[in-house]
Amino acid sequence: MNPSEIARAITAVLGEENIESATHCMTRLRLRLKEQNDHKREALKKIPGVLGINISGEELQVVLGPGRAAAVTETLCSLLSQSPPPALTAPPSAPPAAPAPRSAVGDGQALRETLRVRNATPVRLLFKRITNIFLPLIPAFIACGLLTGLLNIFLRFFPVMGTLPIVQLLYVAGNTAFYGLNLLVGWNTAKEAGGSPALGAILAALISHPQLAAITLWDVPLIPGRGGVIAVLFIASAGAWLEKHLHRLVPEILDLFLTPLLVLLVTGTAAIFLLQPIGGWVSEGISCLTAAAIEKGGAITGFLLGGSWLPIVMLGLHHTMTPIHAELLAKDGVTVLLPVLAMAGAGQVGAAVAVYVKTKNAFLKKTILSALPVGMMGIGEPLIYGVTFPLFRPFIGACLGGACGGAVIAFFAVGAGTLGISGLPLAAATNQPLHYLWGILTAYIVGFIATYLLGFTDPSEESTTQQRKETVP
């Protein structure tokens, strides 16, 4: 099915009136629904092109893969804006009984039952908010990271070119996302917390202003940008909280002028004297602990982190690590955590290749061939939901591959000078490209061998053919 057909099928299953909003990330359509329904989610899994379903708090995530997620979201949003609604057959009033869980290529029907937890817990809601703050920034990280990485490769061969104005300008462009990161995080944090995005950005700019370095309080000079994005999260959230309360307290005739002024003065004062120092202590503690864990734990730490990352990706919690990456970059110039975690995707590539070699199922081979290129580029969800997890034992093999690759990366203390990219492209942005590639190769080989030895139940051609023929009402 093409993206338009997938969007229409999703709308038909869920009901246009039941969809409150639709957004997307790199691989997932993210829906907010008025009413959740298990039967409808089971019907979504049967739509050709849907790789899996995940529940995160009140959000329904439909895994579609890179490129397709954006195209489906665009079409779905256009369908929702139409009046009258497009001619789609409504779901039946009495949905059929949910089918028994089964293992099938691209299905992942057991995914929700395996991973579902109490999504309304404060911790899960906090993780979801952090994800919503940083998720819109990923394209900027990717663009700047790739540009910086390519420049690094170019200058390794032609170092004399580094003095050229055009190269220097490109370096500036590659660092732009990180130069304005606090402002972007402040904007998104205030928006997510229900405040004015511009006020969140202003408060972030306040603690980042270079003129703070010229100010001394109690014989202690202020440090511009101390606490990084951690401090910005605290300050912008506090500003949004205060703003919402002031809207209820300040007379309407004065609200437009008085509320933003009070937010800036009160929250700004709290930021300088309290919130920024706390954010600094937290961020410094996180970065020191992370760096120490990898430095002292070495290969053992890398093994544990690399082996546990795929389940975290499946839970949709991987973007919550972005603040830690950002703090490590701000403190040390590199993040030693990102290259370790990137090995999980490499292990999955090796596992998928092993499945391709062993399987007799033509549809499974086709699924692997279509997902392998993006998997090698660091986007592993199509392989997770379409291949390894439905077969399960290859998923274990992928985790073992990621663990061994992570051990190699941590042993050599490989660091990345950017974030937002993974897989093979990340090699260009690391301080040790050769050792990073050794880690990737290790993850490929171990993932392949582990999966080949563990084996899997090869789905029959009949089961996958039937799955492709299933359509929603």
Q: Which two tokens stand for residue 106?
A: 């691209």
SS3 55: strand
d(C-alpha 272, C-alpha 234), whole Å: 12
Q: What is the pTM of this model?
A: 0.71
- Reported for 108-112, long-range contacts at CB under 8 A and 24+ positions apart, including other chains, are 108/45, 108/51, 108/52, 108/53, 108/63, 108/385, 108/386, 108/389, 108/390, 109/42, 109/45, 110/390, 111/52, 111/53, 111/54, 111/314, 111/385, 111/389, 112/41, 112/53, 112/54, 112/55
Which domains does the chain show, CATH number per domain?
3-84+91-99 (3.30.1360.60), 180-295 (no CATH), 297-469 (no CATH)
Which residues have a catalytic role annotated?
A: 25
d(C-alpha 416, C-alpha 436), whole Å: 10
Q: Which two tokens stand for residue 32?
A: 């907010």
d(C-alpha 404, C-alpha 299), whole Å: 8
Q: Which two tokens stand for residue 239?
A: 């500003």
Per-residue pLDDT of the chain (473 residues; tens, 9 = 90+): 788 889 889 988 888 888 888 887 767 888 888 887 777 888 888 888 888 787 776 788 888 877 788 788 888 888 887 534 333 333 333 344 333 344 444 444 444 444 444 445 566 677 778 878 887 887 888 788 778 878 887 888 888 888 889 989 998 888 887 788 889 999 999 998 888 999 999 999 999 898 998 888 888 888 888 888 889 999 999 999 999 999 889 888 888 889 999 999 999 999 999 999 998 898 888 878 887 888 888 899 999 999 999 888 877 667 778 888 887 887 777 889 999 999 999 999 999 999 999 999 988 898 898 889 888 988 887 888 888 888 889 999 999 999 999 999 999 999 988 887 889 988 888 888 899 999 999 999 999 999 999 999 888 765 555 555 543 43
